[in-house]
Structure 1
Amino acid sequence: MMCLSVVIIPTCEVMYNYVFYPVLQIRRIAVLYFLYVMIVIAFLDTFAQLPIIAPFALSLGANSLLIGLIIGMYSFANMGGNIIAGVWIDKFGRKKILVIGLFFVSICLLGYTMVTTPLQLLAIRTIHGIGGGLLVPAAFAFLGDHSRTTTRGKTMAFSGACVGIAAIIGPAFGAIITNSFGIDWVFYIISILFFVSALLVSIILKENYSPRSEKEKFSMASINKLLRLPPLVNAYIGAFSLMLTMGILAYMLPLKIEAADQSVALSGILLSTFGIVAILVFVLPTNQVFDRVRRERLMIIGMLFISIALIILSSFNLVGVLFIGMFFYGIGFALIFPSVTALVIDHSDKNERGRAFGLFYAFFSLGVVAGSFFIGALNVLPNQGLLIGAICIGLLASLIYRRITAGDISRSNE
């Protein structure tokens, strides 16, 4: 018996180390990359519509106020969808909500081809926003479950690269298809893409989360708990800050370019520049910084980079200097996004990760709405608006710095 165990145990260890473990690793990596593709697709829907929704609303007879409402309603409704998704993801599992969201959005996109009035467009944007709010929290909860603690920052950096890729190819795709085949074909193609993605998710992905007992109540108390946890609050502030400046930048930069009598295409090139810079930071060896430096510290550094970028953009009109400003903005974006998403994973248990990401993307959407609405309500010149954005994110960076400093002092006194 002793001799048999001496033979069997080493053999089992060899089999695990050289056969089963590599297979498990390959499968885990394959799932991660499949989820990266799903994240690109989820954000592609939003970015592809950026250049076409305003002209579409105008063609239906919408006035400027209604056009602004139609554009902003998606993000506003998205907030509600994010929070609902967060609860459902933890209650019913990641896969079900991701598949339901993909199918639901696929149907909503077909609805755009049937609208004939601005109010109908507003209604479909609202429904689409709620449905779209199911997708991203589910995908990121899945991604968080498959990430490793030691490489979590790098994993989330790659997810940021996915968002950047969608931000670059989405607007170009929407504009090119609209010019070549008509606006309806943008919605047809993306609808088919989402339908196929839903089928692939249902076949390929395995549910890796077991919901708790149905008797457990997913009450507001569980949401309040997440909103009181300091690291998560810092992540939510960081997400809000990032998208607040994005809303201000998307509003003011094209107006600044137009006022300087530059080509409208320059706005798109400048916005693409920050996306390219961010992607390079995400995928090059620089992504190792996300697992070596404290998340909150990277957030603050990124926010300062964005503040500097907005100051440059507000102070100069030279095209070369504007590109430098967008270079700084790209670095700031690249430092913030993986840091805040990794914070959410670090400080949420598996059974509450859906709600944590639901709240995270609700603040994400709130930032977009608040940025464009706030700066529009002030009715300021482009340079003034960009400078206000720099001041806002600088103040929010100082708020996070005070919060983590106070937390460190509190822990050292315990």
Structure 2
Amino acid sequence: MKFHPISILRATGILDGISLLVLLCIAMPLKYIADYPMAVTIVGAVHGGIFIAYLLSILYVQLRVQWNAGLSIVAILVAFIPAGNFVFDYFLKKRKASYTIKPFCKSWIVYMIVFFTFIDLFTQLPIMSTFATSVGASAMIAGFVVGIYSLTNTFGNVLSGIFTDRYGAFRLLVLGLITTSISLLLYNVVDNPTTLIAVRFIHGFLGGLIVPAAFTLLANTTKEEKQGSQSAVTGSFVGVAAIVGPAYSGIMASRTSAPFVFTTVAAAGIVLAIVTVLFLKMSAAHMQKEVQEREAFHFNKGIVQAYAGAFFLMFSQGALAYLLPLHVENLGHSSRLSGTLMSMFGIVAVLIFVLPTNRLFDKIPPIYNLVAGLACMGASQLLIGQMRGAAALYGVLALYGVGFAFLFPAINTLLVRSTTAGIRGKAYGYFYAFFSLGVVVGSSGLGILPFSLIGSFTFTGVLLIVLSAIVFISALRTKFSSKTLKSA
């Protein structure tokens, strides 16, 4: 007897909801009231295992039922709300009959690969510096340990782009998933700063192999008129990873260890590699076609605009990650506020990605979405430095989320429309290299400049707004010139 995918999701969802309530209502009081910490250790491990099964069931539903991506994202988010799974189960029970089983949609496997890559990135953020100090690293070495991942990721991105055009995206995805999972397991043997630096170097480089290949495959299998909304869907998985990753690693590392967190991510990567081989495998003829379509790579205006947008998007992200916690601390707020503020921008961006607003990305030319995104993010950076209250900061970070939501699909669409299939892998390799460099410059470069904390926010905001104005004026000139040529 075959079980309907929705039935599997409902069963794992109920188990996840129950285990969360047991953790919060029984295990936590036993730890803090009855001084019995083992209760949290045991129940936390059980809940973590059930949560992974729940995530896999969401993936299975997405592949077989192919419902709106927003429902998969809602299914993930409710798992973090006490009793949220039960409310969502009621919704699924009423609508189960309307969901028919369909053939596997290969695009969703690629979306999950993107999700895995960014979960891998975001789970590191709350725990890597403390893990480094726990094995004997100084504060300076801990900072180097955090940054070296993005640096070596850049080289992995470029190499992935070159090899994607040469050997095809499928091979790079399988190679990247397997080797990244192995590199994650290496954290279990780290016991000193030198070994940790070596593992971070390997992990960053191998992790960089996946994203250019994944985005190239999605771009090559999506109709041109749907590139904007497709990029928005991809962005929603990135956004959910940004919300779920830090929360998962922070909670699990506090109850187990950082290497255990990386081991669970590695396990997900290995499962995803198997799924990729079984269901995404392309015919030899298709892979040969990818290789035959190679051509020389040349820069053009659209590519330059996409790369500039990618760099300044992540420059802004790096600046935010560096400056916001310091600003929150100076205002006298709890450090927990920094995390929830980051979640606010991610939630707003995801909502814009998955709601009908994502149709805007197909209707509005990407260059104007790029302008709007840079302007909103710049205005947000300017305002953050002026805000004092928590409510005002939440509002400003929501504005930042709007900017991120418009900028991310815009730069992806610009890149796709400015390239052909024969050079798209290389184009995406350089594209994500600019992503990684933007983070490094934004988080480290601002610390070198002679600005105060507020001055750094102001500098970043003005820079983004000026860039937005330059791009807008350039777009208007191009539009005016084309109209003049047509009338002549």
Length-normalised TM-score, structure 2: 0.75
Paired residue for 1:345? 416
Contact 2:168 2:291 survives alignment (8 Å): no
Q: By how many angstroms is 1:66 displaced? A: 1.7
1:15-414 equivalences in 2 (<5 Å): 30-207=105-282, 209-211=286-288, 222-223=296-297, 225=298, 228-378=299-449, 380-409=451-480, 411-412=482-483
Partners in 2 of 1:413 and 1:80 — Cα distance? 43
SS at match of 1:397: helix
Deviations 1:312-365 (A, max 9, x none): 111111111101110100000000001111112222111211111111111111
Contact 1:86 1:359 survives alignment (8 Å): yes
Contact 2:129 2:146 survives alignment (8 Å): yes
RMSD of equivalent CA atoms: 1.9
SS at match of 2:136: coil
Q: By how many angstroms is 1:173 displaced? A: 0.9
The residue type paired with residue 201 of structure 1 is: T
SS at match of 2:312: helix
Moved over 4 A (4+): 211-218, 409-414
Structure-2 change in CA distance of 1:213 and 1:36 (3 Å):
closer
Deviates more, 1:55-64 or 1:361-370: 55-64
The residue type paired with residue 387 of structure 2 is: F
Contact 2:310 2:431 survives alignment (8 Å): yes
Deviations 1:239-268 (A, max 9, x none): 111100000000000011111111111000
Partners in 2 of 1:107 and 1:206 — Cα distance? 21
Partners in 2 of 1:214 and 1:279 — Cα distance? 35
Partners in 2 of 1:330 and 1:52 — Cα distance? 24
Contact 2:290 2:422 survives alignment (8 Å): no
Contact 1:241 1:396 survives alignment (8 Å): no
Q: By how many angstroms is 1:71 displaced? A: 0.9
Sequence identity, in percent? 35
SS at match of 2:423: helix
Q: By how many angstroms is 1:156 displaced? A: 0.7
Q: By how many angstroms is 1:409 displaced? A: 5.0
Contact 1:252 1:386 survives alignment (8 Å): yes
Q: By how many angstroms is 1:413 displaced? A: 5.7
Contact 1:237 1:396 survives alignment (8 Å): no
Length-normalised TM-score, structure 1: 0.88
The residue type paired with residue 234 of structure 1 is: Q
Partners in 1 of 2:293 and 2:234 — Cα distance? 32
Contact 2:184 2:203 survives alignment (8 Å): yes
The residue type paired with residue 378 of structure 1 is: L
Deviates more, 1:401-410 or 1:240-249: 401-410
Structure-2 change in CA distance of 1:194 and 1:412 (3 Å):
same
The residue type paired with residue 379 of structure 2 is: I
Which segments of 5 or more consecutive residues in structure 2 lack a partner in the other structure? Answer: 1-101
Contact 1:243 1:368 survives alignment (8 Å): yes
Contact 2:294 2:423 survives alignment (8 Å): no
Aligned length: 382
Which segments of 5 or more consecutive residues in structure 1 lack a partner in the other structure? Answer: 1-25
Structure-2 change in CA distance of 1:119 and 1:397 (3 Å):
farther
Deviates more, 1:45-54 or 1:311-320: 311-320
SS at match of 1:90: helix
Structure-2 change in CA distance of 1:410 and 1:76 (3 Å):
farther
Deviations 1:118-162 (A, max 9, x none): 222112111111111111111111111221122221111000000
Partners in 2 of 1:372 and 1:399 — Cα distance? 24
Q: By how many angstroms is 1:381 displaced? A: 3.3
Q: By how many angstroms is 1:403 displaced? A: 3.8
Q: By how many angstroms is 1:42 displaced? A: 1.2
Q: By how many angstroms is 1:61 displaced? A: 2.2
